[in-house]
Amino acid sequence: MKQDKFLTGILIGIGALVLLALGLFFMRKDTKEYVAVDSPSAAVFNYVLAVTNKDYKTAYSYLADKEHKPTYEQFRQSFFNGSVNADNVGVDVGEAEVDGQDALVNLTLVYSPSDPFSGGYSSTDRAQLIQQNGKWKLTYMPYNFWGYDWYQEPIKP
């Protein structure tokens, strides 16, 4: 019966791991808050957080007022119909490079690992912002957070 004990031990060990992970799962719940928008990085941070929380009104408020800006309904529909999908990616907002009224913010996009032996993968990209009325507004984000047809002239038949 020594082998049964080993087997029981393995199953108990797995159960213990699951309970420990469950505790950590609830302890690590993401409670990020919006930050004061006093920098281009803060504007990007708030925009990404709003999109992640599906707070589309807040997210829309960070779009720059430029020609061919999507309406709020178009903006929202892009997320509903899946053309913009931020569900499977995380964002680490980096440093900003400011040049007068323009700014570039470095972003690291983090994707979940697809196999047990890898640690996931990440890619770098940049967000583009302009300053309007003293506030930083977005003119470009990576495709997971930006519609390809936003700020594009509509195609005439």
Partner 1 sequence: MKTVRRLYFYAIAFISFEVVLWGVIGLIRSIVNPNLITDNAQALAQALSLILVGVPIFLVHWLWAQRTSAKEEEEKTAILRAVFLYGALFATLIPAVQNLLALINRTFLGAARISYERALLGGTQNWSDNLIAIILNLLLAYYFWNILRAEWPTLPDLENFKDIRRLYRYLWVLYGLIMIVFGAQQILRFILYIPTDVIGDIGRETFINATALLVIGAPIWHYAWRVVQDSLTDPAESGSVIRLVILYLLSLGGTITVLTAGGNLLYILLGRLFGESIPTADLIQKISGPLSVAIPFGALWGYYGNWLNLRFAFEENVPRRSGMKRIYFYILSAIGLTTAFIGANMLLSVVVDLLAKPSETMVGDAFSSQLAAALAVTVVGLPLWLMTWRSMQADALTDGDVGDHARRSIIRKAYLYLVLFAAVIGGMASAGGLIFTLINALLGGDKSDFVNSILNTLQTLVLFVVLLLYHFSALRKDGAARADALEAKQEQFSVLVFDNHGGRFGESVKAAFAKHAAKVPFKVITVSEAIPADLKVSAVIIPGSLAVNTPENVEVWMRSFNGSRLIVTDDAAGVFWVNDLGQAAQSVRALAEGQEVRPHSGARTSSVWTTVAYVFAALFALQLTFMLLMFGVSMVAGF
**Burial class for 52, CB neighbours closer than 10 Å (0-12, 13-18, 19+):** middle
Q: Is 88 in the site for partner 1 (CB under 8 A)?
A: yes
Tell whether residue 95 is a contact of partner 1 (CB under 8 A): no
User: Does residue 74 belong to the site contacting partner 1 (CB under 8 A)?
Assistant: no
Binding partner 1 (rule: CB under 8 A), the pick from 70, 90, 142, 147 is: 90
According to CB under 8 A, which one of 100, 116, 134, 157 is a site residue for partner 1? 116
Give the torsion sign (CA, 20, 31, 41, 57).
Answer: positive
**73-101 burial: b if 16+ Cβ within 10 Å, else e:** eebbebbeeeebebeebbbebeebeeeee
DSSP, collapsed to helix, strand or coil, labels residue 70 as coil
**Residue placing its CB nearer to partner 1 in the complex, 73 or 87:** 87
Q: Which stretch binds partner 1 (CB under 8 A): 56-64, 66-74, 107-115, 126-134?
A: 107-115
- Please enumerate in sequence order all residues whose Cβ is within 8 A of that of 73, keeping only pairs 6 or more positions apart, or say none: none
Applying CB under 8 A, does 22 fall inside the site for partner 1?
yes
Residues in touch with partner 1 (CB under 8 A): 3, 6-7, 10-11, 13-14, 17-18, 20-22, 24-25, 28, 30, 32, 45, 48-49, 52, 85-93, 108, 110-113, 116-120
